[in-house]
Every structure is written in C-alpha cells, then in structure tokens.
Amino acid sequence: DEEFNELCFEFGLELDEVTSEKDIISKEKGEEKAKGASDTILYKIDVPANRYDLLCLEGLVRGLQVFKERINLPRYEKIIPAQGEGQRLIITEETVQVRPHAVAAVLRNITFTKERYDSFIDLQEKLHQNICRRRALVAIGTHDLDTISGPFTFTAKAPSEIKFKPLNQSQEYTASQTMDLYRTDSHLRHYLHLIENKPLYPVIYDSNGVVLSMPPIINGDHSKISINTRNVFIECTGTDITKAKIVLDIIVTMFSEYCEKPFSVEAAEVVYPNGKTHIYPELTYRKEKVKPELINKKIGISETPSSLAKLLTRMCLKSHVTGNGNNIEIEIPPTRADIIHACDIVEDAAIAYGYNNIQMTIPKTYTIANQLPLNKLTELLRLDLAAAGFTEALTFALCSQEDIADKLGMDISATKAVRIANPKTAEFQVARTTLLPGLLKTIAANRKMPLPLKLFELSDIVVKDPDTDVGARNYRHFCAVYYNKSPGFEIVHGLLDRVMQLLEVPPNEENGYTIKATEGSAFFPGRCAEIFARGQSIGKLGVLHPDVITKFELTMPCSALEINIEPFV
C-alpha cells in the first residue's frame, strides 16, 4: 500500500484511501448493515478531471506501466472494412432539434470476463458523469452487434410512435410510458429532463426496425451486451461533437486491448443528413513541437533535451529530440484529449520529473506582503474582545432558512439571503445574513455550561447585491451575546462602548457614535436600539424577544449586539 501510494503520488494521482465495501457500508450505515458485505481491499484513487484515460483499470494500469517503463505505449489503429462491409449509422434531419450529433465504432472479437465487463460498464458511467455532463452533452450506448443488423438509423420521433422493450424490462413500452416508468428510478430519473419537454425523442433503429436505444435515457433490451458478447457496436450521441469524439476515442482505446488483434478498432461510417459521410473513431495522432528551454524555464529545472523527451515518453507522450536538440517533437495519442496547449506538455514533464525534485528557489521579484486591512482589524478586535471576558465562537457560514427568517420573526424575502440551489441537508440551505443564529445555536448546544455564557463571533455574512459581478456581497460582522438569569442589556451596551473606545470613535453625534431606540422583530419591544456611527446605521443591540429564545430552545433571557465593522477599517 505504501509503495502504491508513492507511485500514485509520483504519477500525479492521489491514493485517497484503502478500504473495502464492508468498511464503506459500516461507516455510512452502521455495523449491522455491513454484515455479509465483501472484505476485498479497494483502492480509492483521485484522478484529475482532465485525465479521462485513467478512469478505468485498463487505462490506469497502462498509464502506470508506461510511467514505470515496463511497456511501450501501444499504437492504436483503426481498421477500415472493405467497401460495403462496414457498419453504417445514418443520421436523419429530424435529430437536429434534439441531439444533432452521433459517432460510432465497433470492437471486433472482444473477450470479456466478469471483471472486464464490469470495468467496461463502469467507465461509461464515469464518462457520463464528468465529460458528458450527466449525459447532457454526450450519451453512450453499447450493443451486441450479433443481435442486430446494420445499417443503423439515428432519427427522432414523437414519443407515442416509439415502442420498445427497455433494458432489463419484461415488456414493451412507448417512449412516454418509459419516461413515466423511470420517473421513480433513483438512477435514471436525473436524465429525463434532457428530452422530456421536446416534441420529438431521439431514437436509434437497426435495418429491421429494432430499437437499439433512446438516448440519453435507456438502451433497448434486445441488443444488450453480456459477458459472452463478442462484437460490440458503440454509438455516442450528443449535442457537442468534440466531446462525443473524445468519449468514443477513450472507450475504444481502453477496451481494444481485449480484442483478438489488440489495440485495433473497426471503424464505422456515419452518414449526415446532407449526404456527407465521415469515418469514426478518428483516433488521430498529432505532432507538437516544444523547445526544451521553454520546458526547463517554466518548471525551473535544467535537464538535457533527451532526458526531457524521455520524461514525456513516460507520460504517454512519445517524444524525440529533433534539429540538433533545439526542439522536442511530441506525438499526442488519441487518449490524451487534455493536451491542448504547450503548457499541458510542460505540466506532464513536471509530473514525470517529480514536483518534489524541483529545487526551491527564492523568486526574483521583490514584493512586500501586507495583511488585508479588514483582516488586521478583525485580528486586533478578537484579542480585545476575549480580554473583555467573551469567548469566541466559529459557526457555519450556511444555515437553514428558519434560522435567519422564521426564528427571528422575519420573512425570508426580506433577508436578501443567498440560496443554495441543491442543498445536501436542511441545515445548509442559505448563506447566513446575520451571525446571531449561529451564536444562539452554540448556546443551545452548551446549556450545561455554568452561567453566564458570553460569546462573540467576528465573521462574514452574505447578502444579495445585484450591483456586484457575482450578484452577492460579503460584510464583516461582529456579534456578541450575553445569556444569563437576567437579560444584561447593560453588559452588551458596555461591550459596544468598549469596542468603540478601541476603534477611537467618540460618543457624540457629529463624528462619533450614538444609539437610538427602535423596534426589531427579534428584539423585545422597548428594549432595542439602533447604533449609528459617523452618521450611518451599523447595527442593533437589545434584549431578545422571548419567542426567539424559545425557538432556539433556550430558557433564559439573552441580550445581543451585532454591528458591521467594515466602516471602521
């Protein structure tokens, strides 16, 4: 495990954890549920989002073997069948409105085992989740070629006209019924919205009218692949042709290893609505030239051109020195769609060289760093507030809608709160607009502590602001609460005076601070004041309303103070 962890790190990956199914289940659901689960050791490996070629065991092992110089990078080749013998996929013009692009290829005489088959399905799922953007850009379909006969047609029809037996179902459904069927399916329901409201649904037929798939939802049951499948027809349909080509290239390069002639792929012909044809997969190799000085300079090393070429070859980028050592010519294989610019090549050279082997140097530029004034003021205030006998708390920046609205007697629309689009828990629905709920929840969790409880927090709050480029703005707030048998309004008032004294703001109206009686939904009537400093309102202090106290499950009176400290920077 140690050695493998080292190897992953050198290759630019991270071995996240060594675990097993049993461990995972017992962590998430408890020991009871984990009984009978497998004890097989699992490696969780973190792969960077740009390396689609490492998303399956085949690609990862191949990459690591080349990196360790145990094997040479295989040469992927496409075999173009004789005229009229290859598979054809005909795209009709109806598809333009829904999913205009399609690419296809065939893996001939492939040998699956249980592990290989699982890995094949798993790779498709991983690609669907990242580069395919949850099937919105590309959807992959794999079919047993021996159960269907070409040429295939990719068209779009009204939902009521499409009728087929979906994967692993026992009867035929129309497309509309299929959609209803999967509305409750935990896995497939997330993709229904992609075509649900379109007048026509995309569908692929073979020459006998058998439905291969209804992308991006489900394949047909008729052409499903199994461990015994020998010939696999792969189609990728999508709204982004570049991504579709990449996805097809990755699948065929990863699994052509198991074909009778390893690393060979049978090409398929795609016919466009305008009559033009194109052969896929493209499997293009392209050449790039990079100067060795550029690589050395960007990384901060001084290697010879030949050793740089060797480093790049270990990263699956076959390289050799040309022109008296002035250039390195790099061949970029079809598996490396992430190499877009010379800087990607430099990055790979740096990974192969080893980030830990790069000598640290002091930068040539001379700059003097300074703390952000707002943070400096925050740090200074923290110390003095602690000296005043208050304990600092750090609470979550996200909270529930109730915390900042209902529990404080306000309406959520009046708070200008920033909402999280897909909150994972009810506790984290909105960004906080005030620090008070966090402190009251902290007190509720510490009710067993001896009274009085004196807490403060100096942190950011977030509110919507249409004038900023991101639509929201942060303010640094200071909040303090005092919780005891008596409300202690004078305690928080005294703390306000102390803070103003530290900020050198005198207690007068012209250029100092004053407090004026006001009403606040969270405060007791007649026990609330607004604080003005240098003519602008900076916050409130007062005794909290009994309703607020009971809603936060507290039993004693409590007074609070909250101000914005940004005007004092």
Q: Work out the average pLDDT over 516-545.
A: 90
Percent of the chain residues topping a pLDDT of 90: 70
437 contacts 399 by C-beta, under 8 angstroms: yes
Residue 63 lies in a domain: no
Specify if 268 maps to a domain.
yes
What pLDDT sits at residue 332? 94
pLDDT computed for residue 297 by the predictor:
92
Do 509 and 397 lie in one domain? The reply is yes
- What is the reported pLDDT for 33? 74
Q: 145 and 206 share a domain?
A: yes
Q: What is the pLDDT of residue 507?
A: 87
Q: What CATH number did the domain enclosing 503 receive?
A: 3.30.930.10
Cβ pair 528, 545 in contact under 8 A: no
> Averaged over 298-321, what is the pLDDT?
92
Residue 182 in any domain: the answer is: no
* DSSP-based three-state secondary structure for 242: helix
According to the model, what pLDDT value does residue 413 have? 84
Higher pLDDT, 480 or 26: 480
Tell me: pLDDT of 30 over 80. no
Q: Would you state the pLDDT for residue 25?
A: 79
More confident residue, 305 or 38: 305
How are beta strands 264-271 and 87-91 bridged, if at all? parallel
Work out the average pLDDT over 283-301.
93
The predicted-structure confidence for 143-185, as pLDDT tens digits, reads as follows 999 999 879 999 999 999 999 999 989 999 999 999 999 999 8
CA-to-CA distance for 292 and 270, rounded, in angstroms? 41
Residue 383 sits in the same domain as residue 464: yes
Which pLDDT belongs to residue 411? 86
Domain membership of residue 213 (yes or no) is: yes
Measured distance CA(174)–CA(172) in Å, rounded? 7
Judge contact between 405 and 399, C-beta under 8 A: no
The reported pLDDT for the residue numbered 368 is 83
Question: How far, in Å, are 48, 56, 181, 443 from residue 19 at the CA level?
Answer: 20, 18, 36, 38
Instruction: Tell me what percent of the residues of the chain surpass a pLDDT of 70.
Output: 100
pLDDT digit string, tens, across residues 237-276 = 999 999 999 999 999 999 999 999 999 999 999 999 999 9
Domains contained in the chain, number: 4
Q: Where are the beta strands (DSSP E) in 198-285?
A: 201-205, 211-214, 218-219, 232-238, 264-271, 277-280
User: Domain range for residue 115?
Assistant: 77-167+192-280
Both 410 and 482 in a single domain?
yes
pLDDT band at residue 491 using 50, 70 and 90 as cut-offs: very high
**How far is residue 559's CA from residue 545's CA, in Å, rounded to a whole number?**
9
Residue 107 in any domain: the answer is yes
pLDDT the model gives residue 404: 87
- Report the b/e string of 49-59 with b at 16+ CB within 10 A: ebbbbbbbebb
Q: Cα–Cα distance between 127 and 105 in angstroms, integer?
A: 17
In-domain check, residue 423: yes
Q: Same domain, yes or no, for 308 and 163?
A: no
Residues 352 and 386 in one domain: no
Encode pLDDT of 363-376 as tens digits: 788 888 888 999 99
Alpha helices in 290-429 (DSSP H): 292-299, 305-314, 342-353, 373-387, 401-404
pLDDT of 177 reads 92
457 band by pLDDT with thresholds 50, 70 and 90: very high
Nearest Cα residue to 247 out of 104, 451, 43: 104
- The structure tokens listed for 471 are 């639509």
pLDDT in tens, 63-113: 999 999 999 999 999 999 988 888 999 999 999 988 999 999 999 999 999
Q: Would you say 507 and 513 are in contact if contact means Cβ atoms under 8 Å apart?
A: yes
CATH of the domain at 16: 3.30.56.10
How far is Cα 221 from Cα 499, in angstroms, rounded to an integer?
72
Q: What is the mean pLDDT of residues 32-54?
A: 85
341 shares a domain with 447: no
Place of tokens 């939802």: 217
* Residue 220 placed within a domain: yes
Chain centre to alpha carbon of residue 437: 30
State pLDDT tens for residues 382-427: 999 999 999 999 999 999 888 888 888 888 888 888 988 888 888 8
**pTM for this model (two decimals):** 0.68
So what's the pLDDT on residue 335? 93
Do 20 and 81 have their domain in common?
Answer: no
**Lowest-pLDDT range of 153-162, 248-257, 435-444, 507-516:** 507-516
Mean pLDDT, the chain, whole residue set: 91
The domain spanning residue 85 has which CATH number?
3.50.40.10
Residues 276 and 290 in one domain: no
Among 324, 357, 390, residue at a domain's last position: 357
Is the domain of 142 the same as that of 3? no
Residue 68, domain member (yes or no): no
Identify the pLDDT of residue 426.
83
Domain boundary among 228, 256, 280: 280
pLDDT at 509: 82
470/522 same-domain check: yes
- Three-state SS string across 268-312, please? EEEECCCCCEEEECCCCCEEEEECHHHHHHHHCCCCCHHHHHHHH
The answer on 268 and 137 residing in a single domain is yes
